[in-house]
Amino acid sequence: MTPHRASPPTRRGRTPSKPGGPSQVQSLTRGLSLLEALAHAEGGLTLTHIAQKVNLPASTAHRLLNTLERQGYVYQDADLSLWYVGLQAYTVGSAFLANRDFVSQAHHYLRRLMEQSGETANLAVLDGTEAVFIGQVQCREMMRLLVKLGSRVPLHASGVGKAIFAALPDDQVEAILRVKGLPRLTHNTIVAPEIMRQCLTQIRQRGYSFDDEEHALGTRCVAASVYDEHAEPLGAISLAGPVARLTDERIKALGPVVAHTAQELTNRLGGRWPHPY
């Protein structure tokens, strides 16, 4: 008869974790942290750099990267010893865009805005206390303003951000002001809460926002929110370009155009436009 052998105890006499136990949850959390670190990098990262970013031992980071690589979420350039986000991560991320119908429907309106204005049109959504770009139709000008899809901008210092900021209820606006404040990014950034409140009131009245080199010098942007059936923001569309082309006169002319387009898209999606405009 073959003698029965009990499972060897783990450290301090504990039995191995069951599937879905704390250790597996921790590994999942760490793996997602690695993926996020690679997603935010401009290029690939070395193992050492990744481990430093997520505060893990290099051996642990390497084990997790190998697991993610087998699933296609990351890959390594062996010649450069750099790790990159893999195709499977793109596939999963694209499912978000496919499931948010307004993203695909917005493309027609973005293209029309670009054709009407000659400037790059963008689509952004709210994520926490930031706006994230998820769509873009580039203009044909040699000098044009491009943003990386997935990049983030603050609510208080960007066209799409201020459009969404103004669409939030007052209590949420005040909570964000308390937690995030109004950090200065350029000499034009609004850093006084009272001035920001006045700005948000103006945006609500006219239906569009205006970024006057508040996020980056040399660039301007005009934007408007798109709303759902509860008049809550689904996201914001914008036109962005260099100051040399987006003069005060053009901003005054393009503001109502962007607002009208946002209103059309809102209606197309069955939403409710809350502005007097």
Q: Are 58 and 66 in contact (CB under 8 A)?
A: no
Residue 260 belongs to a domain with what CATH number? 3.30.450.40
Report the pLDDT averaged over residues 31-44: 88
| Pure H helices in the chain | 22-40, 47-54, 58-70, 87-99, 101-117, 159-167, 170-180, 193-206, 248-268
Phi/psi at 98 (5° precision):
-65, -35
Residue 54 lies in a domain: yes
Domain contains 154 = yes
- Residue 189 located in a structural domain: yes
Cβ atoms < 10 Å from Cβ of 127: 10
**Domain end position, chosen among 90, 115, 145:** 90
| Domain-embedded: residue 13 | no
pLDDT of residue 4: 45
Is the confidence at residue 159, as pLDDT, over 80? yes
Q: Tell me, rounded to whole angstroms, the distance of Cα 164 from its chain centroid.
A: 13
The structure tokens 């603050």 sit at 154
Q: Are residues 221 and 115 in the same domain?
A: yes
pLDDT at 1 over 80: no
- For residue 251, what are the domain limits? 100-268
Same domain, residue pair 180 and 212: yes
- Domain contains 7: no
Q: Residue 140, class by beta-carbon neighbours within 10 Å (0-12 exposed, 13-18 middle, 19+ buried)?
A: exposed
Predicted pLDDT at 78: 81
pTM (predicted TM-score): 0.69
Where is the domain boundary, 66, 90, 114?
90
Whether residues 231 and 115 share a domain: the answer is yes
Number of domains in the chain: 2
User: Of 70, 90, 110, which residue is a domain's last?
Assistant: 90
Same domain, yes or no: 30 and 53: yes
Smallest Cα–Cα separation from 152: which of 165, 170, 133?
Answer: 133
| Domain identity same for 136 and 154 | yes
Q: Output the domain CATH number for residue 30.
A: 1.10.10.10
- How does pLDDT run across 203-251, given as a tens digit for each residue? 999 999 999 999 999 999 999 999 988 899 999 999 999 999 999 999 9
CA-to-CA separations, 259 to 92, 222, 277, in angstroms, rounded: 32, 9, 8
Model pLDDT for residues 76-96, shown as the tens digit of each residue: 988 888 999 998 888 887 776
